[in-house]
Amino acid sequence: MSQGRLYIVATPIGNLEDITLRAIETLKKVDYIACEDTEHSLKLLNHYEIKKPLISYWSEKEKVRAEEIIEKIRSGHSVALITDAGTPGISDPGAVVIGRAIEEGIELIPIPGVTALITALSISGLPTEEFTFIGFLPVKQSQRKKKLLELSIEKRTLVFYEAPHRILQTLEDMLDVFGDRVCCVARELTKMFEEVLRGRLSEVIEKLENSKIAGEYVIIIEGAHETTQSFEEALIEVKDLMKKGKGRKEAVRIVAELYGLSKKELYEKSLKMDEIQ
């Protein structure tokens, strides 16, 4: 018996009509559909009258169910891998199953579709020639700020995902670390209550504080400017001088003069860097 195939099928991020004809055809022809949450996926499958045996591989089950999926494919069955929304493995479960299939030499066939990060980026008004997708930031604030500090010199447009209960705190952390950069925050994309907010981080935070917070969010932030990069390089120099025995004020004075930066702002940034680290 010949080996089956694994289809990586992108599903709508909200509006059920945002599915490709090829995705529908694939879901109808495979032997099994492996999904993140069977109850959630049934809404889509029932809408298109697709009835197939389902395998749930959510969270803790993924490693165990991955072996079950691989075994079915080895036995000649074809399996479609889907998540609750978007593309499997992209800030969603599915990476374990995909990794195991590659290890076993199983043929993977991608069935592309809509994705939240590209949808949001297309309407953000921010540069799209180059961008960096980070996905979800760490849950703990100290780790989140440390990650943001690492990203603060990135010149490309930055794209993040965030949950509703952390959106305000994350935006405030971004304002604290990045400064008041231009951003776009989108929620409930393609759904009934779709909302897109644009402006400076401080302005978007104020708007969110006065509106209903619900749904999944995409945050898009402008990249660092040349002066921002100079500050980050200068902070490294300050840290090195302090390690060599210089006091903070003296180290800041030397480096600020070298880079042509504000001593006050560099001093404040060096204190903030220590707080985060």
- Is residue 87 within 8 A of residue 113, CB to CB? The reply is yes
Confidence (pLDDT) at 228: 66
Confidence of residue 63 (pLDDT cuts 50, 70, 90): confident
Name the phi and psi angles at 136, rounded to 5: -85, 135
Q: Are residues 93 and 36 in contact, defined by beta-carbon separation less than 8 angstroms?
A: yes
Looking at residue 1, its pLDDT comes to 56
List, for residues 85-104, the tens digit of each pLDDT value: 999 999 889 999 999 999 99
